[in-house]
Chains A and B, each alone.
Chain A
Amino acid sequence: MKNLLSLIVILAVAGAPVGRAQCEPKLHVVTTLPDYQFIAESIGGDRVVVSAIVEGNQDAHFIRPKPSFVTLVRDADVLISTGLDLELWLPTVVNKSGNTRVRSGEVGYVAAAQGMRLLEKPKVMSRSEGGVHIYGNPHVTCSPINMKIAARNIATGLVKNDREGEAYYNENLAKLLDRLDRSLFGDKLVELIGGETLCKLAEKETLVPFLKERQFEGKPLIEYAGGWLGRMMPIRGTPIVTYHKNWVYFFNLFGLEEAGTVEPKPGITPSPKHVTDLVEQMRARNIKILLAANYFDQQQVRTVASRVGAEPVIVPLYVGGVEGVQDYFQLVDYWVGGLLAAASNAKLTAVDGPDRRSQ
């Protein structure tokens, strides 16, 4: 008996440090969108456990609250949502959960879009204008620059709720921001100009003229553009029809033209007149690409595209929305790859050459 007690004491003492490390409570983070889940996991690493409510192939506007969402939010230390009027179902879930810590304005709540430059702020507030978003277009995740802002907001939220992890979170944040910059602009431009300056210029829509005007070692800086920016240069200025106003930030960043939408107004079902007019417009302007998120009716997208001989590009809007897209980098790669393949099939790149846009 004495030997047994001694053995238990020795094992307890020997295992104590390991036990503490393993049992150290992790921060429970719940996000609305899977894109924020990826960001939170990238920054939080092994200090956090992250769950997302919306799946990658779902429309975040229309999520039917389930009891499991209430359980998730009830147990959350940190709740991350866009913070605009995209996830209008979220307040109901938060109220039902009874978790006051993650209510808007409380320490456990992070609004990912805080500080972003929002586009398409409505001039008229009327339901007849369709699904109007009072703060502006809420599909902010379509721009990697916005995702850098979201990452900073998320890091701040994690630090507020886990002060001990501050250095760890900041280190991971810096790595993530650097990777986003390099994926967006290419290594060379980031080293020459710096990610922050490039992002500021891109947000002001003056990046491409700046890169064309300035030279480095006898060549315009634009020739050093790599990453998604470099890949998208050949189709810059291309008019593209979209299903819904999902892509405004992406188009703004890469200089694409949103030439129309299949929905007459956001969230409004297409009418015969609108579809006929759209088809005629696409024929008249020789618009050859139709871009849509994969949660919309794919038959509608393919039917419109086939009527005008355009390429339908149907892609997930969020991480995990299709097999093989497990992180945000793969997601943007998927969008860029899909558009470039469509442009190539429609022979747009060969005919029009680079940069059809004056900017």
Chain B
Amino acid sequence: MNGALEFFAVQISLLAVVIVLHTYMGLHIIRRTIIFCDLVLAQQAALGALVGIGLGIQYASGGSYVVSLGAVLLGSVLLAVIKPKNQMIPREAVIGIMFALSMVVSLLLGDKLSGGGAYVTKTLTGSMLWVTWKLVGITIISYVLLIAFHYRFRKRFIRLSESPGGMKNQRLWDFLFFATQGVITVLIVPIAGVLLAYSFLMIPAAVAAMFSRGWIRATVLGWAFGLLACIGGLAASYAWNLPYGPTLVLSLGLLFLAAVVVRSAGRRATERTGGDER
């Protein structure tokens, strides 16, 4: 296969699978207003990978994924358990503190590891440009299993996001939600890095949430818009010789901006005609 064609095929296949699950999870996170929990889990995954390197485990190997998984499961337990009773301390503050601590420990660890600085950068920026068909295959299989799990228990997860009050075993379902999010994070961080992974999770979901409240419709909208924006970013990166990961983040950012403009214009038009906004 032609080099350029192969590159586009690998990337679009990966993006198509990644964005569908990330949009769905992102919708949950937006509705639960725990916006930064993904950043915490992503940073926990990165920290786990760095601990793995310290233990002599090669980055992005099977062993590295296991150590990262251990770190995100620990983070998931903390996220599920820590709910400050003091109203002056919102949950987001705890999430922010967890992120800052994970980040700082990663930096300190990176300083002591052989080539640690490069690994810390890599966990932040990822290596989307270097994915192979094998990695795309593994990611697709893992994501399909996770989608099946969320589909099987969709009623419980949706209730958790919409009206958790009085829900039976709420902490368990909270933990399972964060744990599945953590598994996704473990898979995506070595590929996309913490920053791009966060963009995949939040931007398509935020755009979809502006236009629809239905779960299926919003997931499809977010996936379609997110994928289009990423393909645009991919093409721009290739055509203008731009760094790939940052260009994807930028194109998703432009998508968000365009959605805000369109939504505002739509709202103003509705107000002018005196119609009900739907």
Contact = CB atoms under 8 A, between A and B. Distances in A.
Interface string B1-31: 0011001000100000000000000000000
Contacts of B115: 57-58, 294-295
Interface string A278-316: 011000000000000011110110010010000000000
Decide if the interface of chain B is mainly helix, strand, loop or mixed.
helix
Nearest first, the 8 closest Cβ-Cβ pairs linking A and B are: A303-B130, A276-B3, A269-B243, A271-B241, A272-B238, A273-B241, A273-B238, A276-B4
Nearest to B122: A297
B148 to A, nearest CB: 30
A270 interface: yes
Interface string A339-352: 00000000000000
Contacts, number: 57
A271 B129 CA distance: 8
Contacts of B59: 299
Contact of A271 (B3, B114, B130, B244): B244
A274 interface: yes
Question: Interface centre among A62, A273, A306, by most B CB within 10 Å?
Answer: A273
Interface size class of B (residues with CB under 8 A): 20 to 34
Interface of A: 55, 57-59, 62, 64, 264, 269-276, 279-280, 294-297, 299-300, 303, 306
A275 B244 CA distance: 11
A274 B60 contact: no
Contacts of A269: 243
Given A58-B117, A300-B127, A300-B130, 16 more contacts: A57-B114, A269-B243, A270-B129, A272-B11, A272-B237, A272-B244, A273-B238, A273-B241, A275-B7, A276-B3, A276-B4, A294-B115, A295-B115, A297-B118, A297-B122, A299-B60
Contacts of B7: 272, 275-276
Contact of A275 (B117, B122, B129): B129
B132 interface: yes
Interface in B122-159: 122, 127, 129-130, 132
Contact of B243 (A59, A271, A300): A271
